[in-house]
Amino acid sequence: MKTENVGFIGLGNMGHPMAKNLEKAGFPLAVYNRDIAKTKDFEAQSTVYKEIVDLVSDNAIIFTMLTNDDAVREVYSKILELPINGKLFVDMSTIAQDASIKLADQLKEKGATFLDAPVAGSTKPATEGTLIIMVGGEQTDLERAKPYLEKMGKAIKHLGENGKGLAAKLAINYFLSIIYQGLAETILFSDQLGIDRSEMLEIINDSASGSGATKVKTPLLVEGNYTAAFALDLMLKDIRLAQQAGAAYPLLSTLLDTYQNAHDKGLGQLDVIGIIESIKPS
């Protein structure tokens, strides 16, 4: 298999373990993060860059995993000023679908290619390399990126042209926002009725209502420890993105109100299941 020099920009809670899986696979890897401290444990095996422009100039395939639309715009505004003919950019961030499609068009005008490839899964599957990766873009570009994506995810779903990966991501996160609010309300109700929380969660997880989503949040709910695997504010962002993309269903306004209220109470940096702290009776 021919390998190309690979760059990874954005070493946050998700990007760091994803890039680590590329490093562990032995690919020639370069990394950049705005906070240089997060690059420290890449110094032994990979190349750490202090400037985005240098990383992009020296590498053929560049992955980006950034927080939101503003962060993506900031990074790619620098990239679009460079000679990038022949390079492939793979954005794994969750941003607005129309913003991603516009970015794809801008990169193509410069002779580069682009995939939107957001992921389903939080920090544990990111560490284990078992994410589900939803891809929008050309098949030939996906084939070029696939050897690297396969080290980050257990399944790669090609859903069509640019923007379709993000379409799937917004849909799945809309569903997850419903699950987490429903789970939080159910646990609060069972608390009120005097059911031990561990027992209730065991019943949920062993029944038809259980899922990977409920199981991964069970330890947090039992321990009352809401350290973020996927921050509540990120879910609020994704609900808003779903609204912008056309979601106008009965639960949407409830979800927006609930997650916004949690943000307003200062809970936005907790894990998404920390929503329970916002809706529990005072």
Q: Which two tokens stand for residue 60?
A: 């053929």
pLDDT at residue 271 tops 70: yes
Q: Say yes or no: do domains 6-160 and 167-279 share a fold.
A: no
169: annotated active-site residue: yes
Confidence bin at 282 (pLDDT 50/70/90): confident
Class of domain 167-279: mainly alpha
pLDDT at residue 3 tops 90: no
Would you say the pTM of this structure is higher than 0.75? yes
| DSSP codes, the chain | -----EEEE--STTHHHHHHHHHHTT--EEEE-SSGGGGGGGTTTSEE-S-HHHHHHH-SEEEE--SSHHHHHHHHHHHTTS--TT-EEEE-S---HHHHHHHHHHHHHTT-EEEE--EE--HHHHHHT-EEEEEBS-HHHHHHHHHHHTTTEEEEEE-SSTTHHHHHHHHHHHHHHHHHHHHHHHHHHHHHTT--HHHHHHHHHHSTT--HHHHHHHHHHHHT----SSBHHHHHHHHHHHHHTT---TTHHHHHHHHHHHHHTT-TTSBGGGHHHHHS--
Class of domain 6-160: alpha beta
pLDDT at residue 136 tops 90: yes
Work out the mean pLDDT of the chain and round it to a whole number: 96
CA-CA distance, 96 to 181, in Å (whole number)?
23
Q: What is the pLDDT of residues 51-102, one digit of tens each?
A: 999 999 999 999 999 999 999 999 999 999 999 999 999 999 999 999 999 9
pLDDT at residue 2 tops 80: no
Percent of the chain at pLDDT exceeding 70: 99
Kindly list the domain boundaries of the chain, sorted by start residue: 6-160, 167-279
Strand duo 131-135 + 153-158: pairing: parallel
Which region, left, alpha or beta, applies to residue 93 given φ > 0 means left and ψ of -120 to 50 means alpha?
Answer: beta
Q: What is the pLDDT of residues 138-176, one digit of tens each?
A: 999 999 999 999 999 999 999 999 999 999 999 999 999
- Identify the active-site residue in 20, 164, 169, 217: 169
Confidence bin at 1 (pLDDT 50/70/90): low
